[in-house]
Every structure is written in structure tokens, then in C-alpha cells.
Structure 1
Amino acid sequence: MTTLSSRAGTKGVPRAERERQVLAAATEEFGRHGYEATTVAAIAARVGVTKPLLHQYFGGKQDLYLACLDPVGDRLLGAIESAMARPAAGAPPTPLRVLGALFTALEGQREAWFVLYDPSLPPGSDAAHRAATYRDAIDDLAALGTADLLHTAGAGDPLDADALKYAWRGLCTALVRWWINHPDESPEAMTRRCARLLGAVRTALADADSDTGV
């Protein structure tokens, strides 16, 4: 016989649904405020449960953070891997495909990017190590993309690829932050905006090369 505690949370809400609510609220809180400033009490209050119930479901603050991080990291990695797969004829360039995939993966939970890229994680903690594992995996994919881009452009300095990898991470973070501040922008609209911006940069650089005779 199934006990009530295994079937439902508080006020008749099934436990699985209550856990989903907690994870959604916690992801937003960690993403908005960072690990250090986020409290279990604030998350419990948002969902309308007690702290003891939240601890019963997820354990401590770090356990709850990890429960939020894993689906975020897996979703972003999967989106980037799919975007970098061999494209169909006429597909947008890889950087634009990756950006579009990120926006689509984050829609409905835009702050989740900053769960993964959180500078306030305690150094040496399980949370910091797990987040770094995901970030390193994403960086490895970015390194492949930037190396291919530079090879096509004829750039031979290996440090160029490393510098561009970090610049790309910063660009993605800045674009997501801007997107959060413009909630009416859909993933498709953001992708089109990025296409215009990348096109403008490409034109400006081409004009600069023309002016200097490069």
C-alpha cells in the first residue's frame, strides 16, 4: 500500500508535482541571485512549503542546487551538440545555430544559464566541481567550433582559438542577460537579432580590411 507521504506533498499536491515546482523556483532563485545569496527559506516560501519538507525532498542547499544544475547542464550540452552536428545544406553558420539552440533550450527558464555560470559557488565544493565539469564540456565544444572557424580564416596562432573561446562565452552570457531584461523577445526573434548583429560586425570588419588594404 502506498503511503500518503510518498504520493503527495502538502495540501494535496502530488509529490512529483511539488518537486517540479520546487526545482523550477530554485532554478530561478539560483539563477537570479546566485548560490551564495539564495536561501532555502526563500525557495520554500515561493512554493508555499515548509523548510523541513523541502529538506525532506532534496536535502540541503547544495543538494538542491545540484538537482537544478544537472538538468540545466544536460539540456545546454545536448542543444549545443545538436547545433554543431553536420548541418543541412543552406543551414545558418555554426555560431548562429548554436545561439539559436541556446535560446530555445533556455526559453521558459532563462535564468538557468546563470545556475551554470555562477561565480558565487563555494570554491572546492561539490557544486563548484559539478558546474565546472559542465562548463568545461561546453568550452570543449566551443574550442572545436572556434578552431574550425580560425582554420577557415587562415589564423595560425593557437592562442587565438583560446582567446576566441573565452570571448564566445562572454558573448553568450551578455546576450542571455540582455534577453532576460527583454522578456517579450522570443528565441526566434533573438536568433534573428543575432544574425543581424553578426552580419553587421562581418560587414564592418570587411570594410575595415578594405580601408587598410588587407
Structure 2
Amino acid sequence: MTVLPSKAGTKGVPRAARERQVLAAATEEFGRHGYEATTVAAIAARVGVTKPLLHHYFGSKQELYVACLDPIGERLLNAVRTAMAEHPAGAPPVPLRVLHALFTALDGQREAWFVLYDPTLPPGTDAARRAAYYRDAIDDLAATGTAELLHAAGAGDPLDADALTYAWRGLCTALVRWWVQHPDQSPEAMTQRCARLFTAGRTILALGADPT
């Protein structure tokens, strides 16, 4: 493989800074368009560098995707772990703490959620396996949380916990998708909105269960 000079195509920008620019642009492209529809050429054009330079820095498109995915996966996984581990007096319930942690971790890079939850990743590839690792780890935490909530509510069917975990993942994805479309909404505003929606949901369900 041809070895390029350390500043080839960077227009004087230090390599570390240029790599950060590439990763930011690639994360947005992968998140908005999916792995399959994203091209290295489009990412290079956004940053203002050449395709050979991107390949020199990151290797293949799959390797570039993984370079975007790993910090996202670690950030989200650690955010969920921390939110579930904290139980200060008077703290919001676990679901709201987790949502606030996710919104905070994604703030400034909201499309990153869809890098992790990308249905267009080629099956059996290193990229798909790496994404599955993070998704499974987050799902395991969600399963623990939902099982605890259902146990506290007196529900004992294990399939209930599985169904609720599946629904929770879909809810998080839907909320982030809505959030992307409303860039003026801060993590705090989103958490408050979720609290209102949860309260409204409980009220609606209670009315539906009222035999009178």
C-alpha cells in the first residue's frame, strides 16, 4: 500500500484534528443514511479531503464505521450503567434517569444512536458483530431494569420482561428520532417531556381500567 505523507491532503491541518473531523462527519453520514448508503467519497467531500487520505487514516469503509461506533457504544453503555447504578434519595425513577443519560450522551451528535442501531450493516462482518456486542450489552441492562420493574409490579411472566425490553428499545429509538427533528430541544427538556408523557400514559391507562 502506498504510504502518504503525514499531511497529504490535510491543507496543513494536524492529523489528529483532521481525524476528529473525519469521525464527526462519518458518524453523521452513517447515522443519517445508514452504512449501506454511505460512501467514503461523500465523507471525504464533507471534510474536504481525498478518498485515499481517508483510507490511509482509517482503512476500509468498515474500519471507518467501527472507528465511529466504538466511542459511541462505550459512551452509551457507560451512560446507561451509571444511570442504573445511581439511587440517590429523591432521584427520578430509573427509566427517566436512563433516558436523561442517553440524551446527555448523544447531545451534539444525535445521529450517533442510528450508527449503533443500523439495520443495513452487512451480516457476519466485524462491523455487525461489534455493533451487536454493544446492543446486546445495552439490552442486558434494559432486561435487568424491566425485570425489576415488573417484579415490583407483581408481574411474573418472563415473556413480559422480554416484550417490555423490546418495547423499550423501540421507544428510545422513536424518541431520539423525534429529537433529531427538533434540534432546539435540550436533554433536560427531553427528559421533562418524557416525564409528562409517562404521567399522561399512566393516567390514560388508569382511566381505561376504571370499571365506572
Q: Residue 194 of structure 1 corresponds to which residue in structure 2?
A: 194
Q: Residue 212 of structure 1 corresponds to which residue in structure 2?
A: 211
Deviations 1:144-179 (A, max 9, x none): 000000000000100000000000000000000000
Equivalences for 1:33-44 in 2 at 5 Å?
33-44=33-44
Segments of 4+ in structure 1 off by > 3 A? 4-9
Q: Residue 83 of structure 2 corresponds to which residue in structure 1?
A: 83
TM-score normalised by the chain length of structure 2: 0.96
Q: Residue 107 of structure 1 corresponds to which residue in structure 2?
A: 107
What SS is found at the alignment partner of 1:212? coil
Distance in 2 of aligned mates of 1:100 and 1:7: 40
1:203 lines up with 2:203 in the alignment: yes
Quote how far apart the aligned CAs of 1:203 are: 1.5
Q: Which amino acid aligns with 2:75?
A: R
Q: Residue 164 of structure 2 corresponds to which residue in structure 1?
A: 164
Unmatched 5+ stretches in structure 1: none
In 2, are the aligned partners of 1:83 and 1:97 still within 8 Å (CA)? yes
The total of aligned residue pairs comes to: 209
Q: Residue 135 of structure 1 corresponds to which residue in structure 2?
A: 135
Unmatched 5+ stretches in structure 2: none
Quote how far apart the aligned CAs of 1:6 are: 4.0
Q: Residue 30 of structure 2 corresponds to which residue in structure 1?
A: 30
Quote how far apart the aligned CAs of 1:84 are: 0.2
In 2, are the aligned partners of 1:9 and 1:18 still within 8 Å (CA)? no
Q: Residue 45 of structure 1 corresponds to which residue in structure 2?
A: 45
Quote how far apart the aligned CAs of 1:5 are: 3.8
Deviations 1:82-136 (A, max 9, x none): 1001310000000000000000000000000000000000011111111001000
In 1, are the aligned partners of 2:116 and 2:131 still within 8 Å (CA)? yes
Q: Which amino acid aligns with 1:202?
A: R
Q: Residue 147 of structure 1 corresponds to which residue in structure 2?
A: 147
What SS is found at the alignment partner of 1:18? helix
Distance in 1 of aligned mates of 2:86 and 2:205: 27
What SS is found at the alignment partner of 1:119? coil
User: Percentage identity across aligned positions?
Assistant: 81
Distance in 2 of aligned mates of 1:148 and 1:52: 51
Quote how far apart the aligned CAs of 1:9 are: 6.0
Equivalences for 1:49-88 in 2 at 5 Å?
49-88=49-88
Distance in 2 of aligned mates of 1:41 and 1:188: 37
In 2, are the aligned partners of 1:34 and 1:120 still within 8 Å (CA)? yes
CA RMSD of aligned residues (A): 1.4
TM-score normalised by the chain length of structure 1: 0.95
Distance in 1 of aligned mates of 2:175 and 2:106: 12
In 1, are the aligned partners of 2:8 and 2:53 still within 8 Å (CA)? no
What SS is found at the alignment partner of 2:111? helix
